[in-house]
Amino acid sequence: MSHVTVVGLGPMGSKMAETFLAAGHEVAVWNRTASKAAPLVAKGARQAASAADGELLVVSQISYQAMYDSLGDAGLDGKVVVNLSSDTPEALRRGARWVEERGGTLITAGIMVPPPGIGQPGAYTFYSGPKDVLDRHAGTLAALSEVTYVGPDQGLAMMYYQAQLLIFWSSLTSFMHAMALLRTAGTSPMEFLPFARDLFTQLGSDGPMGYAKILAGEFEAGEYPGGQNSLHMQAVGIGHAVEALAEAGLETTVPEALKALFERADAEGRGHEGLGTVIESIGKP
């Protein structure tokens, strides 16, 4: 059993506190709106006197500014702050310096499941910061999810987190565009689902359509072979897809942006290379 204070009791923080309690830990809870702590206190948590009440502080708030506002001028000597709030990687690095100036240590984190997935099989969280400090508390944090350490740079956890979200958001938005297009022809989403599932699976595979691995290898080598599957062909193809969406009377903002990116890479003289060459344009806005 260990002692942990959960700071921030929105849907994520409340679920974390419940999960720590269910795992047998002693849990204190604190929220800027104190009344939000009442349901957790009724389940066995202790109402913390302040956000800095405890040695292990697990923070789940809207941003790093909320951490500053909550902890204020409190001394953090010897305390470990594990912050799962979302912000920019540089904001996390500034946060690490802020905590260190007050005598504490910041471990940054990005949890890769929504609140219902906390504590469930398959859940994992990216962590960065001093590994020896994380290791001391990994057993406690494992109640929430698998502990996945990505490096000492406190900005890395958020970079990994946001990298995953970029894939999540863009992939599912493309799926929505696909379903919307087919719906205009009377095809139901469930009719299309098997084909979408197969594509998602293949993209992560080792087969000929395993583009996640193919592109990672190309990026690693800095070479983007085109051959019979050039970027220019892809740019023409996405132009047709955008026209199809427009003809169907659908919203095209995201596909138009993708089309512009492909066409820019083509115009820069790399149309004969493969799709992976687009990363060079992304890296030089």
Task: Identify whether residues 82 and 191 lie together within a single domain.
Answer: no
E-strand ranges in the chain read: 3-7, 26-30, 46-47, 56-59, 80-83, 105-111, 124-128, 146-151
Compute how many other C-beta atoms are within 10 angstroms of the C-beta atom of residue 244.
14
Task: Identify whether residues 172 and 242 lie together within a single domain.
Answer: yes
Section 243-266 average pLDDT? 97
Task: Identify whether residues 9 and 143 lie together within a single domain.
Answer: yes
Task: Identify whether residues 146 and 189 lie together within a single domain.
Answer: no
- The string of pLDDT tens digits covering residues 54-101 is 999 999 999 999 999 999 999 999 999 999 999 999 999 999 999 999
What was the pLDDT predicted at 31? 96
Instruction: Using the predicted structure, report yes or no on whether residue 146 has a pLDDT greater than 90.
Output: yes
pLDDT-derived band at 228, boundaries 50, 70, 90: confident
pLDDT-derived band at 140, boundaries 50, 70, 90: very high
What was the pLDDT predicted at 62? 94
Domain count, the chain: 2
Side by side, the strands of the sheet bearing 105-111 are: 46-47, 26-30, 3-7, 56-59, 80-83, 105-111, 124-128, 146-151
Task: Identify whether residues 60 and 117 lie together within a single domain.
Answer: yes
Task: Identify whether residues 15 and 139 lie together within a single domain.
Answer: yes
Instruction: Using the predicted structure, report yes or no on whether residue 17 has a pLDDT greater than 80.
Output: yes
Query: Which residues form the domain of 214?
Result: 160-282
Q: Which of 119, 151, 183 is the last residue of a domain?
A: 151
Look up residue 233 and give its two tokens. Answer: 């062909």
Section 102-123 average pLDDT? 97
Task: Identify whether residues 167 and 144 lie together within a single domain.
Answer: no
What was the pLDDT predicted at 229? 85
What was the pLDDT predicted at 227? 83
Task: Identify whether residues 86 and 200 lie together within a single domain.
Answer: no
pLDDT-derived band at 145, boundaries 50, 70, 90: very high
Task: Identify whether residues 77 and 184 lie together within a single domain.
Answer: no
Q: Which of 151, 178, 208 is the last residue of a domain?
A: 151
Task: Identify whether residues 143 and 7 lie together within a single domain.
Answer: yes
Instruction: Using the predicted structure, report yes or no on whether residue 1 has a pLDDT greater than 80.
Output: no
Task: Identify whether residues 65 and 92 lie together within a single domain.
Answer: yes
